Structure 1
Amino acid sequence: MSIFPELLPETTSGHSTAALGGQRFRSIDVCAGAGGLALGLEQAGFDPALLIDIREQPCETLRLNRPSWNVRCLDLLDFDPRDHHGLEDIDLLSAGLPRVQASAASNRSRGSSHELELLMATVKLAQSLRPRALLIDNVAELAVAGAYGGIREQIHDKLAQLGYRYKWFVLNAVDFQVPQDRKHGFLVALQGDLIDGFQVPSPSRQSPPTTGEALLASMASRGWAHAAEWARLADKVAPTVVGGSWERGGADLGPTGSKRAWARIGVDGGTVADEVPGPDFSWDPSLGRSGMMALTTAQVARLQGFPAEWLVAGRKTARYRQVANASPPPLAQAVGEAIVTALAST
């Protein structure tokens, strides 16, 4: 378990943030992961009646942070809401789904992509639960790219049959105070005319912190003398944090292109550190990886917009996978607040 001790509590995850007019709404969150989507939605005004994920480590993460949440570790493809009590009158079904790849989109006839199966299973679940709203978070391309047009058409047909109207859109987390260039594609569907009250969130008027600003306190927490110097170099937001596969490989910050982007701000993207630099760490990026420091999982969580007190269960690689694949909570909160406005308009 990681408790992120080297990060200061710059944000708060308070359980009971009031929604519009003090009203709270009920939700179900599937493929919940580390809880980024659920946490942001909680801040927006949603209390989950149920959260599910297939992996034990994310389920433990959710339980550690919110012992009162009803967390079930099971495969979405095997989930039957009739086996669970208290799932009536759900306001929102939310899903931060594994990334649907373009290869699955262009070869619909096979229907063998697990990620695509999860996407369609979520839409099917909306048919069973009939929530007032549906939120799906995935790759930006799913919302706009021509290669995914066939999938969007399938979803449109099903939602139209169920009486939902919807919007696809792309948001960048950097526009919502997250110190990272990270685009997400969203589908928001609402029953009937509720969609008329939904407005895609507008970017924050404030600039996000740079990578250096976001991580300076943690970099200096063990006495590293060059922390401020590094922070001045890291004067831009972070590159997109890449989660990688659960099935293979250790924790690192992504493919070759991502590693080059991290190297430009003096960070070794080829691994994830166990702790931040100490007082004797010699930082010299001209030496290559040996002269650069790696980020910790806690620091990656900060770049994802998680509050410092959020716990993450498992060993280092499992913790990193959870954090890196998560929906940034501030981005989820912005979308959640827009949904709350639409739901509260009736």
Structure 2
Amino acid sequence: MSGLRFVDVCAGAGGLALGLEQAGFKPVLLLDNKPVACETLRMNRPQWDVLEMDLLDFVPDEHPQTYDVDLLSAGLPRVKSSATVARTETNEEERLLEAAVLLAHSIQPRAVIIENVPGLVDAAAFELLREFVRKELEHLGYRLHWFVLNAADFGVPQDRKQGVLVALKERYFHSFRPPVRTAPKHLSVGDALRQSMAARGWSGADAWADQATSVAPTLVGGSDNRGGADLGPTGTKAAWARMGVNGGALADEAPGPEVDDCPGLIKLTDVQAALLQSFPADWLFAGRKTARYRQIGHASPPPVGEALGTAVAQALRG
């Protein structure tokens, strides 16, 4: 089992897949229904097999390389609470989660990773969904671990809590241990972006970084159907303002000398948002600025994927 293989569905910009690659896994197929996300994946990893298709339409029989892999991973769109679902016509996110679970019937991976909202782990609003997942996977011989991770504990400069399901076939279950914190202390926004803020000669970069001493609020990509790129709802924007950042929009470039003459809140760039998600500096994002930011905000930070991949690989290897 030296070369561990995985299938990644709802792959997005590749944050989870990149982390799994760093943990020693090799993808046999990545699936996403958004053309711009698939373009991002192909730009960065031309050798990856990327399929542009909705998960609900995916037929494993047409892609036999997906059978008998070590891992099925899914960084799914965030399922909504029951209160939110009541206000929507459909619950597409819940259907995708169910489809990812049912995919295990066909490809029979040795392990499954599903990453989603923290509430999926224990909130009453998701009890029926958890019960569906449990019944389907236990029927196939898996046993389940549910837990919550905070990306900040793995060196990501962001308070980003993620609900995680790891399911393993019975023989591997007792060898699995959920990832434990790897960062001795949380990385602040200022320390993460200091160099980027100074790149165009802004004289205030160090002073700004010295006061931006906390981790970032959770980045959110927002809806694909409305609005431009911003850093989140009102409360999140207020938290950004306390760090000297205008959360209402993104900048096209890092601040330069012109900012010295117009003091006030600065704006982040999509490149800086990617740094806050801990993507490597050379990871490129396709599309226009808003499309790039949405991919970044929806992504799973690669260090979390690496931690999960390492934990699963250790269990599979015994």
- In the comparison of the two structures, how many residue pairs are matched? 317
Percent identical among aligned pairs is: 56
Partner of 1:317: 290
Offset of 1:258 from its aligned partner?
A: 0.6
1: CA distance between counterparts of 2:133 and 2:262? Answer: 51
Q: 1:332 aligns with which of 288, 292, 305?
A: 305
- Contact 2:202–2:260 (CA<8 Å) still a contact in 1? no
2: CA distance between counterparts of 1:81 and 1:149? Answer: 29
For each residue in 1:161-192, what CA deviation from the matched residue of structure 2 results, as whole angstroms up to 9, or x when unmatched?
Answer: 11110111000000001011100000000111
2: CA distance between counterparts of 1:59 and 1:158? Answer: 29
Offset of 1:105 from its aligned partner?
A: 8.8
1:33 aligns to 2:9 (yes or no) = no
- Structure 1 residue matching 2:284: 3-state secondary structure: coil
* CA RMSD after TM alignment: 1.6
1: CA distance between counterparts of 2:183 and 2:290? Answer: 35
Partner of 2:198: 220
- Contact 1:165–1:193 (CA<8 Å) still a contact in 2? no
1:198 aligns to 2:176 (yes or no) = yes
For each residue in 1:311-334, what CA deviation from the matched residue of structure 2 results, as whole angstroms up to 9, or x when unmatched?
Answer: 100000000000011000001100
Gaps of 5+ in 1: 1-21, 286-290
Instruction: Letter of the 2:70 partner, please give it.
Output: D
1:299 aligns to 2:251 (yes or no) = no
Instruction: Letter of the 1:79 partner, please give it.
Output: F
Q: TM-score, normalised by structure 1?
A: 0.89
1:98 aligns to 2:77 (yes or no) = yes
1:63 aligns to 2:58 (yes or no) = no
Range 202-211 or range 254-263, more displaced: 202-211
- Structure 1 residue matching 2:171: 3-state secondary structure: helix
- Contact 2:155–2:183 (CA<8 Å) still a contact in 1? no
For each residue in 1:51-94, what CA deviation from the matched residue of structure 2 results, as whole angstroms up to 9, or x when unmatched?
Answer: 01000000000001100000011100000011113222200000
Quickly say closer, same or farther: Cα 1:258–1:86, change in 2 above 3 A: same
Q: Which ranges of 4 or more aligned residues in structure 1 deviate by more than 4 Å?
A: 104-107
Q: 1:42 aligns with which of 13, 21, 26?
A: 21
Range 274-283 or range 161-170, more displaced: 274-283
2: CA distance between counterparts of 1:118 and 1:190? Answer: 20
Instruction: Letter of the 2:119 partner, please give it.
Output: E
2: CA distance between counterparts of 1:87 and 1:163? Answer: 19
For each residue in 1:180-206, what CA deviation from the matched residue of structure 2 results, as whole angstroms up to 9, or x when unmatched?
Answer: 110000000011131101101111252
2: CA distance between counterparts of 1:231 and 1:120? Answer: 43
Instruction: Letter of the 1:209 partner, please give it.
Output: L
Instruction: Letter of the 2:241 partner, please give it.
Output: A
Partner of 1:265: 243
Q: TM-score, normalised by structure 2?
A: 0.96
Matches within 5 A, 1:54-133: 54-103=33-82, 112-133=90-111
Q: 2:156 aligns with which of 156, 178, 189?
A: 178
